[in-house]
Amino acid sequence: MNLASPPTALIAEDEPLLAAALQAELARLWPELRVLACVGDGHSALAQSLALRPDVLFFDIRMPGQSGIDAAAALADAWDTQGADAAPFPALVFVTAYDQYAIQAFEAQAIDYLLKPVQPDRLKKTVSKLQLALIQRAQAATNLIAPTVSGDAQLDATLAQLRHLLGAVSSPTPGTSPANPVAPLQVIQASVGTTIHMVPVDGVLCFEAADKYVRVLTAEREYLIRTPLKELQAQLDDQEFWQIHRGTVVRAQAIESVCRDEAGKTTLQVRGLKEKFSVSRLYGHLFKAM
């Protein structure tokens, strides 16, 4: 965005009536804002955000296919920060019906949020914050004021916020414990034809989501299982297994090297495996030089 161009937005909301109501209220409170698209699922939110590169994103938390937070994390990972046409990462506003604990998580991370149903007074405050942020960003881009933080630093700050939110919204309220604590996973039961292989977790080097399956990689062979990766992660020691991408978890002690290319893409080599694995920006903080 620059000072001469109107601000733009994308709305991702799977309930058409709520999306229409939000768009109508935005038109009343912020007539200059151009809503480029309204989409109803997380994957479309990601694709359209990359294609249209709006200044502001209104993402519903619960959407089909991919949550609003997951879509925002995927967008941050795919956002171009190096090219000639690189644009600042959009300002994020989450729309949520979550309970007070989750709202406290949003406030702690300084990410704006709107509660369903969206109230005009609350939206007015959000619009004021967004307008100020976009004006400051445009002025910095045209050197009218000295930027307080670089574009890369802004994206890093957003990634840090999203990391905390990804954990916070899926965690139980502090002071409570799950009704059925999950026992640490010791063995993976993997079916191959009519045979069930008992694969010790101690021998697993990597778990990688692949379509409807999860690849279980050991130094000797690969197995396919249908248990979702998130369900597996809940049973793994996060000190032993590190998440390096939305769909990849690797054994920390088996990491051999981490390389970053000129375009800023990071890849990881696991000892005992030939293939390399992508490290998303969301988890790049794990590999800072000591």
Q: Which of 241, 240, 244, 216 has its CA nearest to residue 228?
A: 216
Prediction pTM value: 0.76
pLDDT band at 176 (very low <50, low <70, confident <90, very high): very low
Spell out the alpha helix ranges (H) of 42-195: 42-52, 68-78, 100-108, 120-141, 151-168
Q: What is the pLDDT of residues 145-175, one digit of tens each?
A: 544 445 566 788 788 888 878 766 554 433 4
A 10 A CB-CB count for 280 gives 20
pLDDT at 12 over 80: yes
pLDDT mean over 19-30: 96
Choice between 103 and 23, residue whose per-residue pLDDT is larger? 23
One-character DSSP codes across 175-242: T---SSPPPPP-EEEEEETTEEEEEEGGGEEEEEEETTEEEEEESS-EEEE-S-HHHHHTTS-TTTEE
Q: What's the burial of 30, exposed, middle or buried (CB within 10 Å: 0-12/13-18/19+)?
A: buried
pLDDT confidence band for 38 (50 / 70 / 90): very high
Tell whether the model's pLDDT for residue 75 goes beyond 80. Answer: yes
- The residue ranking higher by pLDDT, 290 or 182, is 182
The residues near 220 (Cβ < 8 Å, ≥ 6 apart) are 203
First to last CA, the chain: 37
Question: Mean of the pLDDT values across residues 53-65?
Answer: 92
Percent of the chain with pLDDT over 70: 83
Mean pLDDT computed over every residue of the chain: 85
Q: What pLDDT sits at residue 171?
A: 46
- Stretch 129-154: mean pLDDT, rounded? 70
User: In which order are the strands placed within the sheet that holds 241-245?
Assistant: 222-225, 213-218, 204-210, 248-251, 241-245
Specify the pLDDT at position 100. Answer: 64
Confidence of residue 14 (pLDDT cuts 50, 70, 90): very high
Higher pLDDT: 187 or 193? It is 187
Which tokens in the block code for residue 228?
A: 């979702």
Higher pLDDT pick, 156 / 9: 9
**What mean pLDDT do residues 138-148 have?**
60
Higher confidence at residue 105 or residue 249?
Answer: 249
Q: What pLDDT, on the 0 to 100 scale, is given for residue 154?
A: 72
Task: Please report the sign of the dihedral spanned by the C-alpha atoms of residue 197, residue 198, residue 204, residue 207.
Answer: positive
Secondary-structure percent of the chain, ordered helix, strand, coil, rounded to 5:
35, 25, 35
